[in-house]
Structure 1
């Protein structure tokens, strides 16, 4: 494949992943009109339409869907070649985007990414914090941290670390409410938690087994829930690693109720051949493990 052919495929992939010329243009740092012309040129050279433009943006045709796999293999090959040419040793360069649940993104990744950035000054790091699973097939990110292993066969994963969650509330809230001596007493308290119909992973459904049929203060964001606890909103399940960022919030009923969940690092199976991505993944896993352990250790005596 010549360089020009790859460049056309690169633009095709960006439009397929962003659905719009403007979105693809921002990602590619190109004018949307130029993106449109390049897509039209590729379609003309192939003699087939690759997209249908509709109210929701650009949708792949059958021919475009068939081309995706070939284009992604070409992308992998070009990235592999770049890795070889830039050398396997030394610091990392370029741009890497990580998708993560917002709790991990807000409380764990900032310190990890700051350290990685200091160690690799020519590396641009991006965190996509979403209260849902990041779509790697659409290349919303280069890799993702999830709370469940993926089911898609084209994705590979590794478990990063376990983390713990407990009931928590502010000391001010607890001082003004009925005593909390057992899980049954939760019925006398305002519950903070996820919006029930927006729980995107079964591993986040902490309250269903507690017989609680009402969540008085709800959000699809774990970090928002922590702030609700900080402002004396009620009692809820919180990550232990988040509580050092919530002064005045304390764990309760730790002997009666505790959850353990895991973080997984997910990426395309083909990416394992890319030394740059593999080295970054190893550093990320090590950093997340260390940061979760550090933050949880701050609560070991509380």
Structure 2
């Protein structure tokens, strides 16, 4: 059989089980005439008679009996897939709010945060602006300061250092230009820090951290990155000392009423372990020189 229509096979199954078009119609809600046409089309497609048609009902031919055994197996598999699919969409989703750099870090370490066997799903909400955890725009936020609201709980997961970086082929002796985030999009402290340095010559602006990263890799100039991004990228080198003004503590933040939900508690614990394990990288203690 080639390219069989599964709907026609299901009509065949209903007719075989009910012994005729009327019973199949009652099961499916499809008219007997339509079912009859679909079964006939199936027979023409495979070139075999599947039923002996009598006024008292439909009975299977030898070919029909053979096909029925296969269709029953197919139907059982299809039902199990439907049940699995419904079960997946009933799983709770945990929404994680983070900036571009931490989202990238989580994506590259996803196998340490989630597996297909977990009884929850993850929704990454990447944005430099802070989503409102009090009003549950997200379930977990990765933040650079302790929350002010009494409705939020927080767990410290270490520190983050920043430094200037450039491409390994960038000529730091000859070229002194910088790449930054434009003033209209400078939301993060590192982006605002560069804007405040009046003695630095910024020649190229980006509007997203990811584009900034790509420009640095291309050799466009120097730029500021978290050390866990810059030091982990073999295409980049440090272009100066750590920027002490940008050093900060990092927190996992969640709503007090939700932090004991099993899926949130599990994901917070995994995130904390992952970030804490990588603290030398986050603190700038693994520079590429």
TM bucket, shorter chain? 0.5 to 0.7
Deviation at 1:169, TM superposition (A): 0.9
What is the aligned-residue RMSD (CA, Å)?
2.9
Compared with structure 1, are the counterparts of its residues 250 and 202 closer, same or farther at alpha carbon in structure 2 (3 Å cutoff)? closer
Matched, 1:233 2:217: no
**Aligned match of 1:81:** none
Alignment gaps of 5+ in structure 1: 1-92, 179-188
Matched residues, number = 198
Normalising by structure 1, what TM-score? 0.56
Matched, 1:149 2:136: no
What is the rounded CA distance, in whole Å, between the counterparts of 1:278 and 1:133 in structure 2?
21
Deviation at 1:247, TM superposition (A): 3.1
What is the rounded CA distance, in whole Å, between the counterparts of 2:235 and 2:283 in structure 1?
16
Q: 1:99 aligns with which of 94, 97, 100?
A: 97
Could you report, residue by residue, the CA deviation over 1:129-188 in whole angstroms, capped at 9, with x for unpaired residues?
11211222443321111223332332222222102111111132225734xxxxxxxxxx
Residues 190 and 224 in structure 2, CA contact (< 8 A), matched pair in contact too: no
Aligned pairs (5 A) from 1:22-37: none
What is the rounded CA distance, in whole Å, between the counterparts of 1:222 and 1:263 in structure 2?
18
Compared with structure 1, are the counterparts of its residues 139 and 283 closer, same or farther at alpha carbon in structure 2 (3 Å cutoff)? same
What is the rounded CA distance, in whole Å, between the counterparts of 2:230 and 2:205 in structure 1?
18
Matched, 1:290 2:288: no
Matched, 1:249 2:241: no
Compared with structure 1, are the counterparts of its residues 154 and 220 closer, same or farther at alpha carbon in structure 2 (3 Å cutoff)? farther
**Aligned match of 1:132:** 129
Compared with structure 1, are the counterparts of its residues 277 and 246 closer, same or farther at alpha carbon in structure 2 (3 Å cutoff)? closer
Following TM superposition, the consecutive aligned residue runs of length 4 or more in structure 1 with deviations greater than 6 angstroms are 295-298
Q: Name the structure where helix makes up a greater proportion of residues.
A: 1
Residues 102 and 131 in structure 1, CA contact (< 8 A), matched pair in contact too: yes
SS at match of 1:136: coil
**Aligned match of 2:259:** 272
Q: Larger C-alpha radius of gyration, 1 or 2?
A: 2
SS at match of 2:266: helix
**Aligned match of 1:218:** 205
SS at match of 2:259: helix
What is the rounded CA distance, in whole Å, between the counterparts of 2:170 and 2:200 in structure 1?
21
What is the rounded CA distance, in whole Å, between the counterparts of 2:233 and 2:122 in structure 1?
26
Normalising by structure 2, what TM-score? 0.59
What is the rounded CA distance, in whole Å, between the counterparts of 2:167 and 2:109 in structure 1?
28
Moved more, 158-167 or 112-121: 112-121
Residues 103 and 221 in structure 1, CA contact (< 8 A), matched pair in contact too: no
Alignment gaps of 5+ in structure 2: 1-90
Moved more, 97-106 or 287-296: 287-296
